[in-house]
């Protein structure tokens, strides 16, 4: 039986939040400044988050706020103060990675709704059960999760399941990857007292997509055996899988991409809204074929923007790696 699924989109700015809702998103996620897995320009300060939450309420949607980095003990009071403030402003939905923070926030505000982030690297039923125990009512499937595992989580874990479409599979498991931190290993405290390790998306920094740069394969004696080696890391576009995901009872279909342009995000959201609605209207008669041309145009637009961002991130990171550090 085919079930309804929430369509979740990215909100890298107030303009993007509005475009996502106006094009049919049921929910939008934004990153709390300094606390999510993106550059600060795609995150929002507390006042902007409150404004975005107000817009979400006005259109009957949900605003979800990501605090999906791993804090040190001294950052926890800051996390609690910030989430208290957002709770006062009417925010109830949060995306977290750290199970300790999940428990702390749930104890403090039992009516909050917590989702376990893609950064949790949930790859099996036991992981899902663990994060349910910590207070999450929904978990994000790791990008490589197969449908059989999704089915088992739906049947056995008693939590909602979220699946990313329009994502890139990582060379490693996303939440466990430390590659970027080898090129950006300094750290700083911001004005609020939050710790930032620029090369670690798990610690307030970024993934610089280092796995997508050219590598040398080095032999046992240090000799270069192959230059310009490319690691397998393919973008996947799971539009073809959407009917199956709906049949599986997936609760949320997520389009990521806070760094994309607002028109592209609006176009992606409209595409998925139309596709999901058409599939739900007539599951037996639904065919992907008529959607392929529109999908191809969106993939081309998305790949062009992504390639440009990736090239910028890699060159920024490698330039920094060449700069001597003072610690």
The sign of the CA dihedral 179, 264, 27, 34 is positive
Under the binding rule (CB under 6 A), the answer on residue 170 touching ligand SF4 is yes
Instruction: Count how many residues are written for the chain.
Output: 327
The first and second tokens of residue 223, run together, are: 């000799």
Report CA dihedral (92, 97, 102, 105) to the nearest 10 degrees: -50
Decide if residue 210 touches ligand SF4 (CB under 6 A). Answer: yes
Identified binder of ligand SF4 from the candidate list 171, 236, 237, 286, rule CB under 6 A: 171
What DSSP letter does each residue of 236-300 carry, written as one string?
--GGGGHHHHHHHT-SEEEE--TTS-HHHHHHHHHHHHHHHHHHHH-TTT--SGGGHHHHHHHHH
- Determine the interface stretch with ligand SF4 among 97-105, 205-213, 246-254, 257-265 (rule: CB under 6 A): 205-213
State the nearest-atom distance from the C-beta of 266 to ligand SF4, in Å: 25
Q: Which is nearer to ligand SF4, 137 or 310 (CB)?
A: 310
Stretch in the footprint of ligand SF4 (CB under 6 A) among 173-181, 185-193, 269-277, 282-290 = 173-181
Nearer to ligand SF4, 257 or 266 (CB): 257
The reply on whether position 248 binds ligand SF4 by CB under 6 A is no
Q: Which of 96, 159, 211, 245 touches ligand SF4 (CB under 6 A)?
A: 211
Instruction: Give the one residue of 159, 167, 179, 242 binding ligand SF4; rule: CB under 6 A.
Output: 179
Q: Could you tell me whether strands 188-189 and 195-196 are parallel, antiparallel, or unpaired per DSSP bridges?
A: antiparallel
Under rule CB under 6 A, which residues in 215-234 are in contact with ligand SF4? 233
Asked if 207 touches ligand SF4 (CB under 6 A), the answer is: yes
Distance CA(75)–CA(315), nearest Å, equals 31
Looking at the Cβ atoms of 246 and 313, the one nearer to ligand SF4 is: 313
- The minimum distance between CB 206 and ligand SF4, in angstroms, equals 9
The structure tokens listed for 235 are 């973008």
184 counts as binding ligand SF4 under rule CB under 6 A: no
Q: Which is nearer to ligand SF4, 27 or 170 (CB)?
A: 170
The tokens for 46 are: 């507390």
Show Cβ contacts of residue 248 under 8 Å, excluding neighbours closer than 6 positions: 147, 150, 151, 154, 161
What distance in Å separates the CA atoms of residue 149 and residue 146, rounded to the nearest whole number?
Answer: 6
DSSP for residue 150: H
Contact stretch for ligand SF4 (CB under 6 A) within 86-94, 171-179, 187-195, 312-320: 171-179
Q: Which of 122, 177, 246, 253 binds ligand SF4 (CB under 6 A)?
A: 177
- Residues within the interface to ligand SF4 (CB under 6 A): 170-172, 174, 177, 179-180, 207, 209-211, 233
């Amino acid at each position: 039986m085919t079930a309804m699924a929430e369509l979740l989109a990215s909100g890298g700015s107030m303009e993007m939040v509005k475009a996502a809702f106006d094009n049919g998103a049921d929910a939008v996620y934004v990153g709390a400044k300094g606390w999510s897995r993106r550059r600060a320009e795609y995150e929002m300060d507390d006042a902007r988050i409150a404004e975005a939450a107000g817009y979400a309420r006005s259109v009957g949607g949900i605003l979800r706020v990501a605090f999906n980095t791993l804090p040190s003990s001294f950052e926890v009071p800051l996390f609690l103060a910030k989430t208290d403030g957002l709770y006062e402003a009417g925010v109830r939905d949060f995306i977290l990675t750290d199970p300790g923070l999940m428990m702390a926030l749930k104890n403090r505000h039992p009516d909050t709704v917590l989702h376990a982030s893609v950064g949790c690297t949930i790859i099996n039923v036991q992981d899902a059960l663990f994060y349910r125990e910590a207070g999450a009512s929904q978990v994000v499937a790791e990008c490589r999760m197969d449908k059989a595992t999704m089915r088992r989580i739906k049947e056995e874990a008693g939590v909602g399941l979220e699946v990313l479409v329009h994502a890139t599979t990582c060379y490693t498991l996303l939440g466990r990857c430390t590659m970027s931190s080898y090129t950006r290993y300094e750290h700083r405290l911001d004005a609020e007292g939050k710790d930032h390790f620029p090369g670690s998306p798990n610690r307030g920094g970024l993934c610089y997509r280092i796995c997508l740069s050219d590598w040398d394969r080095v032999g046992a004696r240090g000799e270069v055996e192959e230059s310009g080696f490319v690691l397998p890391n393919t973008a996947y576009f799971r539009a073809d899988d959407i009917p199956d995901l709906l049949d599986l009872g997936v609760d949320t279909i997520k389009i990521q991409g806070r760094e994309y342009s607002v028109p592209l995000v609006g176009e992606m959201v409209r595409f998925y809204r139309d596709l999901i609605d058409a599939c739900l209207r007539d599951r037996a008669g639904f065919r992907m074929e008529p959607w392929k041309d529109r999908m191809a145009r969106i993939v081309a637009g998305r790949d062009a923007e992504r390639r440009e961002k990736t090239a910028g991130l890699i060159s920024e990171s490698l330039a920094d790696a060449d700069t001597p550090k003072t610690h």
